[in-house]
Chains A and B, each alone.
Chain A
Amino acid sequence: MKALKALKALKALNLPNFAMMTNKHLRLPKWPDSGQLHHLRLTAMADINESLRSRWFIVYSLIFGGIVVALFMTGLTESRVMGFTGLSRLLVTYLQITMAILPIFVLLTTVRSVAGDREAGIFEYLLSLPVSLSAWYWGKMAGRFLVVFLPVVLAMLVAVVWAALKGADIPWTQVLFYTGFLLSLAWCFLGIGMLISTLVRAADVAQGVAFILWLVLLLFLDLILLGALVNGGMEPDNVIAIALANPLQVFRTASMMLFDPQLVMLGPSAYLILDIFGNTAYLLWALFYPIALGMGCAGLGYWLFQRGDLP
């Protein structure tokens, strides 16, 4: 009897019949068909070509290539006595420098080009062509990802090849993880950049927001600031949570972890990281968390993009 009453009450609510629902009703994302993939490829190629012609890309590539060259030239070696015997120290330094430069570059160029294109009327024209919005948005993101990721990784691989030619040991695990970290970091900030471009329509304002966000993330890197938070009465767990949520901090700690597995350089905070996660789990966190964060931001950006005015 109770079950019957409950059923009647449910019927009165006029809820949809889930058993009869199709993908259309549920609005599940559909796998793109071949036409959409073709449009995605065209959009990605257009964005790649646009980036390759731009000045920022030349500067960007020169900076990362220059960093590697500078690190070799300044004699950053494994040992003062033995000279150049391996790449570990050079790579970890490269990653630390990259952590500071790559995010701001990705953020500024992404918001400038996406919000700038919209402001200039490029969206009005290109989106009057029958390209699907998902192919447009994700194609732009895919193209841009290749453009920001490849120079950074290629510069690192040049160092690896050079070291191999010199007969030095190549720390392959470190190289593979670092490639993964760079991929993860680039995707993360690209996703954040796409979200900012969707939320803030004026290019100047979008650049300002991107810069402030980068500054905030950089500030929370500072262990002194984190220390001040603890001194100010914040629970240590919350401080750790902030550090774990900050993709820059995650990248930084993980890249150090491969060089210094006990995290001696980090001091007491290393105990917390190693106690909570352990090495392997933390490395996996560093690989996948920024990707998930970037994907989440980009997904939210797409959701907002296709729900609002396009130009």
Chain B
Amino acid sequence: MTNPISIQFDKVSKTFRGNKVLDDISLGIQQGDRVAFVGSNGAGKTTLFRCLLGEYLHGGTVSVNGKAPRNHRQEVLKQIGFVPQLPPPLKMPVGQLIQFAAGVCDSDAGRMFAVATQLGLDAHAIRRQPFVKLSGGQKQKLLISIALGRDADLLVLDEPAANLDPAARHIFFQLLAQKQREVAMIISSHRLDEVAALVNRVVELDQGRIVLDDHVADQVAMDSLLDCRITLSSANSAFAETVREWGFQSTPAGNVWEGKVAGPDRLRFLGVLSRYAGLLKGISMEEKK
């Protein structure tokens, strides 16, 4: 289905009105690489993505399998599934958006609808609704469905799971796990803990320069699931509300909570729990076999 992909950034630079946003970026990405682009706002992540997508003119060269995205737009972009950081305010109805995307990608709209269903979004039911009127989570699910519901050798995901609920995140991670050997992935985030478990390489950008490029331990299966049990010193309503969003259920006394957490989400989940550190009496997390 897919071809081995090779992406090369060679001394890529981009300047906006005298302000250098990318400064001599050189980087190679191969099939199987799952690269986290981390950095604060304005570090240059989105600009680098736009250069890769052939949307910006720039200094230096970007090539995907030896082809410049700008000069070979269709050939290159056919290989790239993209999820933007901010959903565009498209007024077109959901059904039309999917048909349009499937049409220009030579893909099957049915596959995109199917991915949406897997993510818990009944795209058929909302097909007449304008995209812009959907909730943040629905928009994100739909954009992910379009990116994953087509043949792509590279997935470029700009903060892809930020608006997803834990259940949808788990499905999303499962979908990525199915593709991880066939494709390369570039995932951007402001925070490493959001994406750490999804990737095997981290590139940190700061003021348009690469300040870190390192491979990381790749022990967490993207589709893994952890059985969790949390014991509190006493029942707490704020805590209850938070963990219910993660699909947890409690004993009648309300001080013991049980649920499941997606493997790549463990760090994020522990981050949530840290807000209630004073209440915690015991935590157990065990990977399901």
Contact = CB atoms under 8 A, between A and B. Distances in A.
Chains A and B bind each other: yes
A130 B105 contact: yes
Contacts of A69: none
Given A122-B90, A126-B88, A309 B57 contact: yes
Interface stretch (A46-54, A217-225, A276-284): A46-54
Contacts of A49: 92, 96
Interface string A269-311: 0000000000000000000000000000000000000011111
- Residue with the highest number of chain B CB atoms closer than 10 Å, among A42, A49, A124, A307: A124
B74 interface: yes
B104 A122 contact: no
Contacts of A128: 53, 55, 77, 80, 82, 84
B268 to A, nearest CB: 26
Interface string A35-52: 100110010001001100
A121 interface: yes
Interface in B27-65: 50, 53-57
A121 B100 contact: no
A234 interface: no
Interface in B64-111: 73-78, 80, 82, 84, 86-92, 96, 100-101, 103-105
Interface string A120-134: 111111111111110
Contacts of B143: 125
A132 B143 CA distance: 20
B73 A133 contact: yes
B151 to A, nearest CB: 11
A292 B78 CA distance: 35
A121 B89 contact: yes
Interface residues of A, number: 28
Interface in B125-165: 130, 143
Nearest to B55: A310
A62 to B, nearest CB: 20
A130 B78 contact: yes
Interface residues of B, number: 30
Given A42-B104, A121-B84, A311 B55 contact: yes
A42 B86 contact: no
Interface in A113-156: 120-133
A32 to B, nearest CB: 12
Contacts of B73: 130, 132-133
Nearest to B56: A309
Contacts, number: 75
Interface string A43-84: 000100110011000000000000000000000000000000
Contacts of B80: 128
Contacts of A133: 73
Contacts of A307: 57
A124 B84 contact: yes
A137 B82 CA distance: 21
B103 A50 contact: no
Given A130-B104, A133-B73, A309 B91 contact: no
A25 B78 CA distance: 26
A124 B88 contact: yes
B88 A311 contact: no
A50 B78 CA distance: 25
B157 to A, nearest CB: 12
B152 to A, nearest CB: 10
A46 B92 contact: yes
Contacts of A126: 88, 90
Contacts of B50: 124, 311
B103 A42 contact: yes
Nearest to A53: B91
Contacts of B105: 129-130
Contacts of B89: 120-122
Contacts of B104: 39, 42, 129-131
A42 to B, nearest CB: 5
A129 B84 contact: no
Given A121-B84, A124-B84, A128-B55, A50 B91 contact: yes
B92 A129 contact: no
A54 B56 CA distance: 30
B84 A125 contact: yes
22 contacts: A46-B96, A46-B100, A49-B92, A53-B91, A53-B130, A121-B84, A121-B86, A121-B88, A121-B89, A122-B89, A122-B90, A123-B55, A128-B80, A128-B82, A129-B101, A129-B104, A130-B75, A130-B78, A130-B105, A133-B73, A310-B54, A311-B56
Interface of B: 50, 53-57, 73-78, 80, 82, 84, 86-92, 96, 100-101, 103-105, 130, 143
The 9 lowest CB-CB distance pairs between A and B, nearest first, are: A130-B77, A125-B88, A128-B82, A310-B55, A130-B78, A131-B104, A122-B88, A130-B74, A42-B103
